[in-house]
Amino acid sequence: MTMPIAIFASGNGSNFQALVEATASSELLATIKLLVCDNPNAYVIERAQKLGIPTFIFNPKNYATKADFEKDIIEQLNEHAVSYIVLAGYMRLIGPTLLNAFPKKIINIHPSLLPSFPGKDAIGQAFRAGVKQTGITVHVVDEGMDTGPIIAQKPINIEDNESLESIEARIHELEHDFYKATLQMVFRKGEL
C-alpha cells in the first residue's frame, strides 16, 4: 500500500520534484495526489503540470481569513483521500483549522538544525552567524514557526571560507535525499 499524500509548496519546488521522482522510482512508497500552492506565480506549478500532478492553487488575498482558505484546502484533501500533508517550501504558518483536521499528519523540512535558525533564510542566518555546522531538520508541524517535534536531522560541516552559495547548494542537494528517506521511514511505521 502506498501512502496518499499532498505536497504544499510556494516557490521553486525542487523538493516537490525530488519527491515525485522518488515515488516514480519506488524509493518513496507514496502517491502524490495533489500539489497545494498559495502562489499563482510559483515555478512549482509548472513542475506539477509537467509531472502530471493535480494542483490546487489559491490566492490567500481572495479569502477573508486563514480559516476560510484552509477549509477549501481540506475539501480538496478529502476529495483526494490524502493521509499526510508534506510541506516543501510552503511559506505560511498552518492554522488550527488544518492542524485539527490532520493531527500529527503534517510534516515539514527546514534547512537548519532546529531549534537554531527558525524562520526565513535559515541558511543565510547560519552563514552570517559563522557557525561551523548547520544542516536539515524534518519535523512534525504544530502552530509555531518551525517548532514542532523533531523527526530526524542531518548535519553538515561548513568549510573555512565557504560561500553562502556553496552551502545553499549542498544543503538543497542533501534535502532532496534526506526528505524522501525520512518520509519513507515515517510512512513505513504508519504513525508519528
- Interacting residue ranges for ligand GRF, rule: CB under 6 A: 9, 11-16, 88-89, 109-111, 175
Among 77, 1, 73, CA closest to 33:
77
Residue nearest to ligand GRF (CB): 89
SS3 11: coil
The minimum distance between CB 11 and ligand GRF, in angstroms, equals 5
Closer by beta carbon to ligand GRF, 111 or else 148: 111
> Do residues 23 and 103 lie in contact, with contact meaning Cβ atoms separated by under 8 Å?
no
Task: Report the alpha-carbon angle 125-131-136, nearest 5.
Answer: 65
Among 63, 65, 8, 68, CA closest to 33:
8
Q: How far is CA 66 from CA 24, 55, 61, in A?
A: 33, 19, 10
> Do residues 102 and 148 lie in contact, with contact meaning Cβ atoms separated by under 8 Å?
no
> Do residues 145 and 122 lie in contact, with contact meaning Cβ atoms separated by under 8 Å?
no
The minimum distance between CB 87 and ligand GRF, in angstroms, equals 7
- Strand-pairing partners, residue 157, are 133
The minimum distance between CB 78 and ligand GRF, in angstroms, equals 25
- Euclidean distance between CA atoms 17 and 48, whole angstroms: 8
The minimum distance between CB 1 and ligand GRF, in angstroms, equals 27
Q: Catalogue the active-site residues.
A: 110
Closer by beta carbon to ligand GRF, 71 or else 92: 92
